[in-house]
Amino acid sequence: MVLLSLVATHSDVDLETVARLSVGADQVASAVLADGPAVSGAITLATCNRLEIYCDAASVDDVEAARSAVITRISGLSGLPESWVSSAFTTRTGEDVARHLFAVGAGLDSAVVGEREIAGQVRRALIESQANGTTSGPLVRLFQEASRTAKDVGAQTALGSQGRSIVSVALELAADLSLTREFTDKSVVVFGTGAYAGATMALLKEKGCTDISVFSSSGRSEAFVSTRGGVALTAEDLPAALTTADIVVGCSGSDNRVEAADVERVRASVAKQLIVVDLALSHDFDPAVGSLDNVELITLESVRLAAPSEQAAALSQASSLVADAARTFQDRQNSRAMDTAIVALRKHTQQVLESEMQKVRAQHGCTAAAEEVEFALRRMVRQLLHVPTVRARELAAEGRQQDYAAALEALYGIDLETPADQSAETSCPVRQDPPATGTA
């Protein structure tokens, strides 16, 4: 088992590239698993400013095949050339996979450092993968540990008390651009019913806004407002709502983009200012709306540039927590990998013992003497296995589990990929010997 990740984020590529790569992202994991045995598990993390694919490859030799499978699938779904897709992604393996994901979950790799929404997105990525049957044991542990690390960073550093998010920074920008900073007198239209829409609704209420309408091209606005408040809009209601709105927040990412000409038409008779906040990666609004009279446009790039810098001490502490958690996770993974070798060694040795005991039974039958011989041999085997077992753990902690596996194959001919079958059940019933002390 080898974990790898393919990462394209706002830190390395522009948001338009991320958006183009993300077309069909929800199909990547299942498609890659269907391609062959190189990948045994996959999870997709797609947000407003990142596309990350996490894979569980069968072995080190399968890493390149796994990466190629992901690139090919994304190319096919997005319609982009494979060479272009490949150059957009950074590939990580080993401890770097955990370190990056833990930093992402803790908000350290976000446009707004310490943001809260990303931790929920990491959790949902795992839940969706489990529901779709595309994950694996190592990937489940990786994402669960990422969530725990995010909680630790939030609880133990000043980042947790900042309460900043992409939504909060965007609304602060909207207040800065408004004639008044108060939201109590503003009419707001929200596009979308996802996580960002929910965060937007909650923050608007905190700011005292009571005139909130919600539009969803998929028809989910009624259910959305039933638990959060606000008024659900239909397609027929939307033009009138846009005519009177002070702020419009787009976070749906649907294919039904609002064109600049549409905004200009419905606002033709209105002289007051309109602030459009477009938080959708694929744009809910034509970027040209920013050039219309009395219209101000706030985008994800605007949020990134306006995001406040965090204190160096808090960032350093959070980064240390992430690094420690990643190192611990990798040590545990190494130890788990070594468990396979230990089980194989025990199985091999027990099979040798069974072979010898069958000879004893064939010669002496099911007698008390033979039973005593068996107890003695079993104690001997446990003593022989004690030092190799301890040494396996030590090598795992040093990251040298491959050395141990190679030694097993060289010394005993044990292939960890195809361990020998259990020997047939013994013909004689035997009593259980008491557990040995001081042995593995």
What CATH code is carried by the domain that includes residue 57?
3.30.460.30
> Does residue 91 have a known ligand-binding role?
no
All residues at 6 or more sequence positions from 338 whose CB lies less than 8 Å from its CB, including other chains: 392, 393, 395, 396, 401, 404
- On whether both 195 and 300 belong to a single domain, the answer is yes
Catalytic residue among 48, 55, 209, 251: 48
- On whether both 140 and 186 belong to a single domain, the answer is no
The DSSP letter of residue 61 is: G
Residue 438 lies in a domain: no
pLDDT for res 157:
83
Residue 426 lies in a domain: no
pLDDT for res 430:
46
- On whether both 175 and 249 belong to a single domain, the answer is yes
Sheet holding 274-278, edge to edge: 231-233, 211-215, 187-191, 247-250, 274-278, 295-299
Residue 425 lies in a domain: no
Of 105, 134, 163, which residue constitutes the final position of a domain?
Answer: 163
- On whether both 202 and 344 belong to a single domain, the answer is no
Per-residue model confidence as pLDDT tens for the chain (440 residues)? 789 999 998 878 877 888 889 988 999 999 999 988 889 999 999 987 899 999 999 888 889 999 999 999 999 999 999 999 999 999 999 899 999 999 999 988 887 777 778 888 999 999 999 999 999 999 999 999 999 999 999 888 877 655 677 888 899 999 999 988 999 999 999 998 887 888 899 999 999 999 999 999 888 899 999 999 999 999 999 999 999 999 999 988 777 789 999 999 999 988 899 999 998 877 889 999 999 999 999 998 888 787 766 566 777 888 999 999 999 998 888 777 677 777 777 787 777 777 777 776 676 666 656 676 777 677 777 777 888 888 888 888 888 888 888 888 877 787 776 444 444 444 444 444 544 444 43
Residue 360 lies in a domain: yes
> Does residue 196 have a known ligand-binding role?
yes
- On whether both 353 and 208 belong to a single domain, the answer is no
> Does residue 310 have a known ligand-binding role?
no
Q: Find the CATH number of the domain harbouring 215.
A: 3.40.50.720
> Does residue 330 have a known ligand-binding role?
no
- On whether both 212 and 252 belong to a single domain, the answer is yes
> Does residue 354 have a known ligand-binding role?
no
- On whether both 292 and 373 belong to a single domain, the answer is no
> Does residue 47 have a known ligand-binding role?
yes
> Does residue 117 have a known ligand-binding role?
yes
Domain count, the chain: 3
> Does residue 404 have a known ligand-binding role?
no
- On whether both 7 and 156 belong to a single domain, the answer is yes
Longest CA–CA separation in the chain, Å: 106
pLDDT for res 129:
96
> Does residue 340 have a known ligand-binding role?
no
- On whether both 14 and 158 belong to a single domain, the answer is yes
Neighbours of 339 (CB within 10 A): 13
- On whether both 148 and 103 belong to a single domain, the answer is yes
Structural domain span for residue 128: 2-163
> Does residue 49 have a known ligand-binding role?
yes
48 noted as active-site residue: yes
All residues at 6 or more sequence positions from 331 whose CB lies less than 8 Å from its CB, including other chains: 396, 397
pLDDT for res 142:
96
pLDDT for res 109:
84
Residue 311 lies in a domain: no
Residue 121 lies in a domain: yes
Of 138, 163, 188, which residue constitutes the final position of a domain?
Answer: 163
- On whether both 9 and 96 belong to a single domain, the answer is yes
Q: What are phi and psi of 31, to 5 degrees?
A: -70, -40
> Does residue 426 have a known ligand-binding role?
no
pLDDT for res 419:
42
> Does residue 363 have a known ligand-binding role?
no
pLDDT for res 281:
76
Of 273, 306, 339, which residue constitutes the final position of a domain?
Answer: 306
**Two tokens, residue 261:** 């000409």
Residue in this structure with the two tokens 């407002």, named with its chain if needed: 225
User: What is the SS3 assignment for 198?
Assistant: helix
pLDDT for res 435:
47
CA 41 to chain CA centroid, nearest Å: 12
Could you tell me if 110 and 45 are in contact, meaning their C-beta atoms sit under 8 angstroms apart?
no
Residue 317 lies in a domain: no
Residue in this structure with the two tokens 């920013």, named with its chain if needed: 290
- On whether both 260 and 144 belong to a single domain, the answer is no
User: What is the SS3 assignment for 439?
Assistant: coil
Residue 258 lies in a domain: yes
Residue in this structure with the two tokens 């905004």, named with its chain if needed: 263
Fill in the amino acid letter for 397. A
